[in-house]
Amino acid sequence: MRVLIINGPNLNLLGTREPEIYGTVSMEDYLDALRSEFTSLELEYYQSNIEGELINRLQTNDFDTLVINPGAYTHYSYAIADCLKNISKPKVEVHISNIYKREEFRQKSVTAAHTDAVLSGFGMNGYRLALLSLVSA
């Protein structure tokens, strides 16, 4: 099974960006751990700070399932929401922090309605939990 993991803006800074919120593990190191655990899955990772690049990658439609952390685009990108709406494959939205304990503007997700599930507040483990849910579906 080919799983596409997409991260939005500033998530390339994981491990150094606000470690009190996002932790100290880089995405690359965490992906290595995920690949070791989920050896039967082909995990592809994509990150961009540019909304259109994220949409272009999603529209290639060359994956079986999707794990997406839209980052700040979660709260206002109707373009990504529309793109997700047109993907009929299983998909899970992940947020490292609990968005409902953060600033008011971060508590709304315009993309969540177009995913099958949302994981928020599990730290980096949210990606692992998303993979577990997708492989057991």
pLDDT in tens, 45-86: 999 999 999 999 999 999 999 999 999 999 999 999 999 999
pLDDT exceeds 80 at position 135: yes
Cα 134 to Cα 2, 48, 76, 100, distances in angstroms: 11, 23, 26, 24
Question: pLDDT band for position 103 (50/70/90)?
Answer: confident
Q: Residue 82, annotated ligand binder? A: yes
| pTM attached to this predicted model | 0.93
Between 15 and 134, the higher pLDDT residue: 134
Please give the positions annotated as active site: 22, 95
Q: Residue 40, annotated ligand binder? A: no
Between 111 and 16, the higher pLDDT residue: 111
Q: Which domains does the chain have, with CATH numbers?
A: 2-136 (3.40.50.9100)
Residues 54, 23: Cα–Cα separation, whole Å: 24
Please check whether residue 31 is in contact with residue 5, taking contact to mean a CB–CB distance below 8 angstroms: yes
In tens, the pLDDT along 4-44 reads 999 999 888 888 887 887 888 899 999 999 999 999 999 99
Q: Residue 7, annotated ligand binder? A: no
Q: Residue 106, annotated ligand binder? A: yes
